[in-house]
Every structure is written in C-alpha cells, then in structure tokens.
Amino acid sequence: MNPNYPHLLSPTKIGGVTLRNRVVMAAMGMSQSDNGFVNQAVLNHYAARAEGGVGAVVVEVTCVDAPLGLNTKGMLVIDDDKYIPGMRQLADVIHAGGAKAFLQISHTGRGARRAIIGQQPVGPSAVPMPYSFMMGLGNETPRALTVEEIHEIEEKYAQAALRAKKAGFDGVELHSVGYYLGQQFLSSTANVRTDEYGGSRENRMRFHLNILRRIRALCGDDFAVIVKISVIEMGKDGGISLADGVYFCKRFQQEGVDALEILAGKWSSEAGKNEKPESAYPDCMAVALCSLMKAGIFLTTGKKATVPLIGGGRAQNPAAAEKALKKGQCEMIFIGHALLVQPDLVNLIEQDREDEIRPCIGCGHCIDHQLQHGGKAICSGNAVLARGENDYTIPPALTKKRVAVIGGGVAGVEAARIAAKRGHEVDLYEKENEIGGQMNVACVPPFKQHLGLLKPWLERQLALTGVQVHLGEEVTREKLLALRPDVIVCATGVNPAKLPIPGIERAKHAKQVLNGEATGKNVVVVGGGSVGCETAELLASQGKRVTVVEMQEDLAANTGKTAQTILLGHLKSRGVRLMTGCRVEQIDEANVICRQKDGGTITLPSDTVVLAVGDVPNDSLYQSLKDDGIELYNIGDANGGGIIPNAVYEGYTVGCRI
C-alpha cells in the first residue's frame, strides 16, 4: 500500500459491508444497455473499474418503472424479474474484481422526455423542470402523481432493491440528485403539494422514508442503503436550502441509512462570470458540503454525526482526497469522471504511479453525448469507453513493424503510444519544439486549466512506451520514404482557413493571440465557434472591448451544452458584444464592415481583427504518399477531426490496427 495515502487506502464499512478502501465509484449514466438489459459492454465497463481497485462500485442510474421513469433509451432497468439474471452477472464481475456492488435505483420523474417514454412525464406536482446548465435540460409540464400512484412507485423502488439483493448486490443507492424524482419530492419548488407528501420538510421526505422502511422490510438490515442527495438547490428555482439539507441528513441518519453521498445542485438558465465549467473545477469541490452537514447535525442534535458521508467532486487528486479524509470532512471519497478516463486509477495510486493517471479534462462530452445527442457516453481521454463492448485488451502485434507517426498532437501521440505498447518500433516527428498540437493553445483561455494537465501525461506515456520523439523536425515525403518505415501515420493537424475578404491580411489568427501576441483596445473576433468565443473571453478578461461576429445563429455550438452555457454567460457578463447571423464583408485599417441577416450593413470600429473561422485539414503529406504502396493512415484534425474524443479514438484504433 502507498504510505502517502493511509486513510484513502484503508478499509471501511457501509453498514455491514466491508470495503477494501475508501474510494467509491460514483454512479454515472452510460446509456449502453440493450433495452434495459445488462450486456457485455456493461459487464466489461464495471469489471474494469472493479479490477482497477475501487472499494465499491455504484452501478449507474437504473430505472424502477419503465418506460415512465426512463432517462435515456440506453438506461438500465430493474422493474421486472427478467432483469435479474443480467444483474447477477454484473454483481458477480464486480465482486470478482474485489469491489463491493451497489445498484443506484431511480425514477426520472418530470425530467423524463416524451420522445423517450412516449407520454407526458410525471412529478410530485405539475411544475415543469426549469432549464439548468448544471443539472439537465428544461422540460414540459409533468402530470402530478396521485397518492395512489406515489404508493405504487414507492413499492417499485422497494421491489427493485429486492431484485438487486437477489442478484447478489451488497446494497442499493437511492438517487435524489439532479432532475430525478427523489430530489423533486425533497424540493419545495418542484413539490408544491398540499397533502401528506408536500409542505413541511418531513412531508417532503415521506416518499424516501416510505421507500427506506419498505426496503428494510423486504431486504433486511444487512442489505446496505445509501442515499445520494443534493443538500442545497441554488438559483431562483431552487427549493432546498442548507437548513433543509441538514434536516434531511439528520432524518436519514435517524432512519438508519448506511451512508449519504453529498452533492449540490443549481437551477439557472444562465451563468455569471464567476461560474466555473468542469474544466476548472477545484479538487474535491463537494467535500466542504460534508463538513457543513456534519456541523449542522451537531448544532441541531448536540451530537456528532454518525452516518458516514461520501464526499468528492473532481477527487482524482489523491493528495486532496487524503487530506479531506484525514481532517474528517467525510468518511469516503466518491470519484466519477476520473474513473471513466482511467479505470485502474486506484491501482495506480496504490502502486505509487500517480504520474500515469490520465487526467479528466472536464470537457463534459460524457454527459453531452447522451443528453444532447441521444448516444452513449464518450470520453476525451478514453477511446474504449462505450465504444463496442468496452474491451480494454490491447493485443500484442503479430509482426513487429517500424512505425513513423507525423504530428505530436493528441491523435498522433495516442497512435504512437498504442502502437508502441503492442510492440512496434515507433518514431514520432513533431515540427514544433514541443508535443501537444492545438492543445497547447486550447488550455490558454480562462477556465481551461485542466486541459493543461494532459500534456505532462502525454509526455510521460511516450517515455514509458519507448517512443522515439523527434521535436523541431519537419518531415517531407522524400525524407519519409528514405527512412523506409513499414507504416506511416499522418496526424499533421490543420492549416488556417483562407477567407476571400478584402483586407483579411490585416487580421491576426486566434492562435497568435492565444500565444501572447498583443492586440488593441477594440477587438473584433471573426468566428463564434468555441475557439472564437474562448479567445473573446480571454481578451475581455484583459479589459478589451470585444465583439464576436458569427455567420450562424448559434455560438460555441461545437462545445458541450453545459460548457457552452457557462462560456456564453461569461461573455455576456463581461460585456462582449455577440453578433450572430452576420457576415464580414471587408476589413480596413480601422473598421470591420459586416452584412447583417436583414441585408443591412454595420461598421465595427477595431484596432485588431482576430480570425477564428475554423481551420482546414492539413492532409498534403498524406495525399502525397497515397500512391506509394505503404501502409498509411490519416487521423485527427488532418482527417477532419473536430473534437478531442474523435482524435483520441482515431489514434487508438489506428494504433491497434497496425
């Protein structure tokens, strides 16, 4: 055991269930079931995290009442005995990996989509779910549940817990966070009932208390129960105060809940300038809420809290997690997205190999790809996640080859390290004096600091896998052919787009600005994608007067929904002028002349014009080699790329294919 983390790596208990360490894998929806059934992809996903060293696995949100309670089409389901065999397999693979198995059970309530469930959603009251950039999308007005229907759903929760026990799970977690039904009952704004299920705190808890008592009656006291709860709902539509949160935690403790996982929520359609996206979250950001709950329980009861609290929130930094446990802020640490990126994270910590932990960059694609695009979770750091059957096997190469990778961006490095892991002899050539490619400027704007954590990891991986790295070396077709590699992988990135605009030569490229080139006081940014908007935020934070001009109606449309909302909120709060449906027609020494969607023109004074109109693939090397009969690949931005998950996936799959 790593002596640096005696608390984090020490055993603990949830009820009567002993965990080998204090790391709990948080439940995270993956949307990869087969019509609710456990499949091989689900089994492999959780087996990898259990084998990776966590103390407990909380399996993703699982529906107790399909279709009414579904969140996504790929959501797991446990509302019928037919799901028990698959769930038994799932519990078995988690146990085989050395972890304890908990199943998160839930109903989506007013958050359910008509397109998914085929009918009007239901909730405690006929109050529509407001839009929230943190907790989910707004939704239509639900139908208020009758008391009889509430009783039926309570029983469905309890029966789901019993099925989980029959399947071999060690316990369940009641999901009362975000836009799910559990939180809706606790919230005074979502729940405006005037009967025994609404009004007072105790009445708003009745749904949970009835479920808990019924689970105990069916499953016994040796079956552990965790409640995952938002102890505060912020924003104008928030309906849980900190005082409410303390009361709920105290009552759950009195009711004999075996552990509480503590989080917060926020209902807000816009983000102010101080709101942070996940790419800038501080380490263990939710742990302080555990301290508040402990203090609140002590102040209201005169006794120390006895219910174990599970805290976290970007807790992949083991030093921060250890500190929280040592101070007694919480008893266990939940880790979520970091385990999607690095399944064996805990093993690496235990083996004193923290520099091999691939960081979560906080891009949010794992959530966005499900809720916005109706797909499965994907990851900017893990090419295997929810792709195929989640098979992490990297087969050794049958024939050792000499591989030349051209380009040291994310795609090129991924291809190089995977090919080298398989036993190939790999040389990576990068024309700049450092690897990283576009990532080196992408981490410069405000609130993008976690992206900067990736570069040291990439460098470490190249060293560990024995890739020969050649920096400051631009290669040509002739040089490559002279080197006589067996395989060439082109990951040559992009070139700046060229626009047929009079005066365009007066403009700077966004990358020049992000690399530190000076600008004037009045700046017009041409292009409102993520690069343009993030560059605008950087300039505005420097006190510049900034205007963003975008031909389309949407800004930062290639950004995840949560990050997009926060970014646009920052721009508005900093006074950035946002002009959509607007095309630049001319740039002169002091102005940018634009054509608006109504046909009129507008003149924007500018000291500096910054171009962020999108780059074009730099595939000239690839095109020059296509007819030479060599094994050849074109990946990343040179192949159209787009977003980091795509680049990583292409690099990984090519590395496995060679």
What does the DSSP assignment read for 457-473?
A: HHHHHHHHHT-EEEET-
Give the residue carrying structure tokens 């009641």.
174
Type of residue numbered 7: H
β-strands 468-471, 100-106 pairing: unpaired
Residue 540: φ, ψ to 5°: -65, -35
Return the bridge partners of 522, or none: 545
Cβ atoms of 640 and 617 within 8 Å: the answer is yes
Angle between helices 84-96 and 40-51 (to 10 degrees): 20
Cβ atoms of 630 and 650 within 8 Å: the answer is no
Residue (of 197, 170, 49) closest to 102 by Cα position:
170
Annotated active-site residue in 180, 281, 429, 633:
180
Q: How far is residue 606's CA from residue 342's CA, in Å, rounded to a whole number? A: 46
Q: How far is residue 623's CA from residue 100's CA, in Å, rounded to a whole number? A: 52
Reply yes or no on whether 131 is catalytic.
no
Residue (of 173, 182, 172) closest to 110 by Cα position:
182
Peptide bond into 67 cis (omega under 30): yes
Continuous H helices in 167-275:
181-186, 201-219, 242-255
Cβ atoms of 560 and 544 within 8 Å: the answer is no
Give the list of residues 6+ apart from residue 622 with CB closer than 8 angstroms, or none.
490, 492, 632, 634, 638
Give the residue carrying structure tokens 């646009």.
568
Active site residues: 180
